[in-house]
Structure 1
Amino acid sequence: MASWGSSSCLQNYSLTKKPFSETVKFSERTPILTIVAQKKTKKVRKIILKEDISQLGKKGDLLDVKAGFFRNYLLPLGKAQIVTAALIKEMKMEDEKIEAEKQRVKDEAQQLARIFETIGAFKVKRKGGKGKQIFGSVTAQDLVDIIKAQIQRDVDKKIVNLPEIRETGEYIAELKLHPEVTARVRLTVFAN
């Protein structure tokens, strides 16, 4: 038996082995183990707020929040809902109703402003004093009462901007009927 160190053994080994320059072909098979790198993705939920939340948003806002914040805070308190197609459709319909109502209120205010323009001036009689002075003054409530008596419309006295009236003469009052509609009304004050 030859030892590994003997030259005959090395010769036999070198004759049976192929040189390193030749390429060895492996069989085409799928690997047993596949390593996939997984990155941790941020878990974000699209939600709709059910009420105003400071530093987050107002009712009806569409937001992206972290899943944990939604699951642990917003959902148990009933402050938000996960966005669904049906919910978005419902919100759009509700927004359309709100816009239609706002437009109706604005149109009504514009119509009332036109009525005030066609009337001209409201006449107010007060007990007179010396010269042009009157006893007391004409207030916003007096104007509201006159409007109700003449055109049968209720007007809130908070929307009336009236200058201080303590003398006879002609004055202009402004009625803020809508944030975008202001009516100007003339008042003629007479002394009895």
Structure 2
Amino acid sequence: MAKRVQLVLKEDILSLGKDGDVVEVAPGYARNFLLPHGKALPVTPAVMKQVEHRRAKQKEHEAALKDEALAFETALKTIGRFTVKKQVGDDGVLFGTVTNGDIAEAIEKATEKEIDRRTISVPEVHAIGQYKVQIKLHHEVTAEINLEVVSY
């Protein structure tokens, strides 16, 4: 039985692992694919030190992103309510619906910060009124805002 080889991945490989993971693979796989294509490096103390340094930087970056998301969540809560104006029929029913793009636009006007519309979860809005909207700012931070739909 052939001896397995330990390598450090330089990029994510679907069936093997993520960037920076230490994996054990067959020597032929390492020699014929991973090493020549620059997808992995042999495990050495210097490489392990680089991996640890990269992981520390990644953790710092993630913490900074989370702090930024928490600050934005606080800003959204401070503003309190966002208003979207839509055309309404005689019976109080909207022409069309309120989309996540409409909400993103209202938030951008109020906060002057761009927000990805795909992170906004909109309930079914077909009439004038107040609604709760969820916004995923970070994989650990979700903000809930009040949305007021009014006619113009």
CA drift at 1:109: 0.7
Structure with higher RCO (Cα < 8 A, 6+ apart): 2
Alpha-carbon distance between aligned partners in 2 of 1:149 and 1:83, rounded to the nearest angstrom: 51
Structure 1 gaps of 5+ residues are 1-40
Partner AA of 2:126 in structure 1: R
Q: Identity of counterpart residues, as a percentage?
A: 38
Partner AA of 2:100 in structure 1: A
Structure 2 gaps of 5+ residues are none
TM-score, normalised relative to structure 1: 0.70
What does residue 49 of structure 2 align with?
A: 89
Which has the higher mean CA deviation after the structures are superposed, 120-129 or 110-119?
120-129
What does residue 38 of structure 2 align with?
A: 78
Question: After superposition, where does 1:60-75 map in structure 2 within 5 Å?
Answer: 60-75=20-35
Alpha-carbon distance between aligned partners in 2 of 1:176 and 1:126, rounded to the nearest angstrom: 24
TM-score, normalised relative to structure 2: 0.86
SS at match of 1:165: coil
Alpha-carbon distance between aligned partners in 1 of 2:150 and 2:23, rounded to the nearest angstrom: 61
Alpha-carbon distance between aligned partners in 2 of 1:65 and 1:133, rounded to the nearest angstrom: 62
For each residue in 1:31-79, what CA deviation from the matched residue of structure 2 results, as whole angstroms up to 9, or x when unmatched?
Answer: xxxxxxxxxx964433212233454333322123444443344323333
Paired residues in the alignment total: 152
Alpha-carbon distance between aligned partners in 2 of 1:43 and 1:135, rounded to the nearest angstrom: 69
What does residue 19 of structure 1 align with?
A: none
The yes-or-no answer on 1:108 pairing with 2:68 is yes
Structure whose CA Rg is larger? 1
CA drift at 1:180: 0.9
